[in-house]
Amino acid sequence: MDHLKAAIRTIPDYPKPGIQFRDVTTLLGDAGAFRAAVDAMVHPFAGKKIDSVAGIEARGFILGGAVAHQLSVGFVPVRKKGKLPYRTIGQSYELEYGVDEVEIHVDAVRPGERVLIVDDLIATGGTAEAAIRLLRQAGAEIVGCSFVIDLPDLGGARRLEALDVAVTSLVSFEGD
């Protein structure tokens, strides 16, 4: 997976000093790396019963849509509060300074539906945990979470695993 790691741009001191921002848009812009990433995200779940892929706003939409296409299943957008046009259910989560909320349409998943959650990066895990809780509230069974990037020092993958959710990632950046 070194070729995928090499396709990810690091932007120092963004969005604030001391942060090493891992920019997956360079991977998305490289056709070979994008294809390899999607294939690698699909591989652990090929042959498993999955009814839909839920992508977390915004880069999770790009990756999740491609993964859903490869798995021949539908796509569920997990959006920030107020962005979906139909009736929604939501789940709040804590940010470093405040609270945010993610939503899905009330009819986005059926009870018992097996859902794979996809996003570009797992850091502290707050948004992904909110997505898990939200989808479970709607009756979904979470098959797993798949990310391109893990920042293991921030503990997000462990946080999701504590919710009894399998977590896969393609590359990791230590110390971030």
What are the catalytic residues?
59, 96
**Cβ(103)–Cβ(89) under 8 Å?**
yes
Residue 61: both structure tokens together = 């939409």
For 87, the token pair is 């009736």
> What sign does the dihedral 42-45-51-55 (CA atoms) show?
negative
**Rounded Cα distance, 28 and 15, in Å:** 20
Alpha helices in the chain (DSSP H): 2-6, 25-29, 31-42, 59-71, 126-137, 156-161
Compute how many other C-beta atoms are within 10 angstroms of the C-beta atom of residue 173.
16
Total Cβ atoms within 10 A of residue 122: 27
